[in-house]
Chains A and B, each alone.
Chain A
Amino acid sequence: MEQGLIDLGKYIGAGLACLGMLGAAMGVGNIFGSFLQGAMRNPAAAQQQFGTLIFGFAVTEALGIFSLLIALLLLFVV
């Protein structure tokens, strides 16, 4: 019973932690969408901004990865 309750909390917690990735998903989508929009208007300038694109992607994605990490820790380590 005790262990069952702990498992229940673990799985609910992991599911809730994964919701954090929702924000990162919207952010990453926004970054690539905006980049494409800008790149279509001015394709000549797009090449130089690739580094900036990846930087923005990495910084945004990190936050989603943090919440995924909490979920994985709950599932496999706790």
Chain B
Amino acid sequence: MADTNPITQFEIHEVAPLEVAGLNLAFTNSAFFMVLATVSVTLLMALATNKRALVPGRGQSVAEILYGFVADMVRSSAGNEGLRFFPFVFTLFIFILAGNMFGMFPYLPLPIHGVDNHGFTITSHIIVTLTLSMLVMAIVVGFGVYKNGFNFLKLFVPAGVPPVLYIIVTPIEVISFLSRPISLSVRLFANMLAGHILLKVFAGFIVMLIATESAMGLVGILPFFMVVGLTALEFLVAFLQAYVFAILTCIYLNDALHPAH
């Protein structure tokens, strides 16, 4: 039963133990997949753009499509001023996308001690997504105060509201602002966690049916097709959640650029 427990896939193992002054700073399989995501994206973008052909080849087309996609997203939700944050949003989007996608490997036998023989979704741990969303909020607040000074507080006092209503509207705006990092991180984390648990639960059905060692094992073909379909859906979710994270970042940055709505 231990093998079919859908939660074991999220376990963190130490690859290279390291302890500094009582702090456990071990290099884990989570860190390994973060490095893998960063290195592969860097290699892809560096190799794809080193020729800089006027008529792009296959690799360059991928890089240009990604660039154009994110640039359009930033421009449409944060305006041309928002383009100064393009490198940040692009990095965030690509990192989350690569992290989600490397988690989609059902079987990935890497000869490294401590790394399981399947992909590990770094974004299925709330500490990773919360760190990313706190970084976003720190930049929104930091840049908003730097650019607008006290006018940044106009974010909590929307224009065009009868003054009496500020008693209600301002606390609501403050609460909604404070819950942003939580909803931003929990959305990504819970989507990836729930999706991968779902895949493993259905995969567990196949194992259990075959383990009966009777004609019931043939029924296992049904959850198998279900898993294939769900995997396709999970690829869509992996992309969509990276997109949602990036577009919400753009919208929050827009607040920092134009706090008075």
Residues in chain A within 8 A of chain B (CB atoms): 48, 51, 54-55, 57-59, 61-62, 65-66, 68-69, 72, 76
Contacts and interface: CB of A to CB of B under 8 A. Distances in A.
B247 A72 contact: no
Contacts of A57: 244
Given A58-B187, A68-B194, A69-B190, 12 more contacts: A48-B76, A51-B77, A54-B243, A62-B187, A65-B186, A66-B186, A68-B190, A69-B193, A72-B193, A72-B194, A76-B7, A76-B197
B247 A65 contact: no
Contacts, number: 43
B61 interface: no
B108 interface: no
B244 A58 contact: yes
Contact of B186 (A48, A51, A54, A69): A69
Contact of B251 (A48, A55, A66, A68): A55
Contacts of B7: 76
A62 B186 contact: yes
B73 interface: yes
B96 to A, nearest CB: 14
A54 B244 contact: yes
15 contacts: A48-B76, A51-B73, A51-B77, A54-B243, A55-B251, A58-B244, A58-B247, A62-B183, A62-B186, A66-B190, A69-B186, A69-B193, A69-B194, A72-B193, A72-B197
